[in-house]
Structure 1
Amino acid sequence: MTMHFSTFFKVVSLFFFVTVINYSVQAQVVKKRTTLLMGGRFDITIVAKDTLTAQKSINEVIAEISRIEFLISDWKPSSQVSEINQYAGIRPVKVDKEVFELTKRAIQFSEITNGAFDISFAAMEKIWKFDGSMTQLPTAEKVKQAIQKVGYKNILLDSVASTVFLKLEGMKIGFGALGEGYATDKCREMMRASGISAGIINASGDMSTWGNQPNGQPWSIGITNPFEPEQLLMTINLQEQAITTSGNYQKYVILDGKRYSHIINPVTGYPATGLTSVTVYGPNAEMANAFSTSLMVLGKEKAGILMNDFPKYNFMMITDSGKVIKSRNFNR
């Protein structure tokens, strides 16, 4: 039927695999730990000079992700994002600079994609449910009512006061997997600053990498075949890059014999169609995630046009019919 996820833009966990062995080469060790944070699975891999340093670094990464979670997770009542949602249509909410800047970047990305990406899409969760509880399609009237609460142009920012205001009562923002991508990027920066030479922060497929494996080889990342989820479509090597995939083949609902994807077009209020999965890689996981989500909504023609303006990011789109469309430098 469907798989339950807590984060709103979250797609499918474990699109990627990394083969990591705990071994020592050239006075380096690789340590890996898996934990649940931000409503999903995090796999943290660290290359360090010794086991103690590696384990300490993993603890620091977990602490940093937890800190971010308590700032931006809309399912935590005490978070600043929950407070923003609570006072939608009532008053602006003062937030930390970090939350303000993340919101500002999200709005800028909405502008870039002409609304194909929109963090206020979270209001649609009231009518589209992919946790197994939805037994019939929402009525056209309910979709129309809900879509009236969606629209990044109604998120008002005051940079002087550092406030975020949702103009309409009933509006809601949610960072979901975008927040996870942000967290992986922040942890990568933190580890680099502390002298950790290499590693991977993998948030259920939103992945930031840096450095090499101890044997000098880059990290090898496997991309799942959306039509045969137990098989890999290909592997690519990454250094100092982030990668993310959005897809519609594991989180969906079947009603009246038709499959409806969890990736909703924020403009129409209905599930996106045409593409089965989109993989994007480039310098930044936050931006790669925003791209992969919005490309699913835009469709192959508009997606290709958009990505021409961002040559640092490469993409692979797989259509519902199985056609593979890649950017010119994908996996080169």
Structure 2
Amino acid sequence: MNVQSIIGDTPLVELTTFDVPSGVRLFAKLEFMNPGGSIKDRMVDYVLADAERRGLLRPGATIVENTSGNTGAAIAMLAAARGYRAVLTMPDKVSKEKRDALRALGAEVVICPTSAAPDSEKHYVSCARRIHAETPGSFMLNQYDNPLNAEAHFRSTGPEIWEALGPAVTAFVASGSTGGTISGVSRYLKQRNPAVTSVLLDPVGSVYHRWFHHGVLDPAEIAPYFVEGVGEDHLAQCMDFSVVDDVLRFTDADAFAACHHLARHEGLLCGGSSGANVWGALRVAHSLKGPATVVTVLPDSGGRYLSKIYNPQWLSENGFGPGATSERDDDL
């Protein structure tokens, strides 16, 4: 047995402390229980295995990728296990815990300004592409535009959800950046039952919400937000809107409030994207009449955000007063 062999088959638990309509059940897949600590383990392992089979990734090569942290952790873990070098670029809003974890696994980390425009040389995606071009024999996953990203979830996450719940699944809800999770899982579930509803969650400051509803890509909408690993400042080719039925917009406060409820009442210490996913799942749950089952994923652990989401001083300094993350009964 090796580290790759224990990726996937994560537990699916029912969330029981939230106020939902009678007959509506809420389930969450604990993706932070993957060995690298996040849902990104699935995609990275799948893409690297494909690259190795096709001779695109050779022994001792360098893996280069842009990441908000979790993809980087998966790359660093698997690079160490398989004997590759890893060079990872990330925006400076990424938590210190994530940066330190990547370095501990032997990866080289290049920090780029979060404020850099998508077409700027300083943008973390542009930086990764430059390093890849300058490094002979290197391999770049290109997670935002690689169809294998969504295929990984079509072949693993989606089937696992269906195996556990089957036709009971009414809706799948998840935030997205690359779009791999929402696209792959939704495509699989809809193939099993076309009536399954798929809902993408998008943070204020990202472009997906307006693009989905109005077909407009407005640079003026791009703005900073604190939740990591979700939303985007450009359209990722991996995002398949043809399998998405609706896009809901959330705020940092929405996500963080759900995080605190998960920790204090469900015993689940999760990251901001998990909070966003649960907030969205609750919104969808309240639109349904039982019997119905809403499923989401908890992409990573709150242990990577102790200096931020779970730090009262950080919350206060960034405008999240006591009311911003307190449990609001009308929403949760």
Please give the TM-score of this superposition, normalised by the length of structure 2.
Answer: 0.29
Q: Which has the greater radius of gyration?
A: 1
Task: Pick the structure with more helix per residue.
Answer: 2
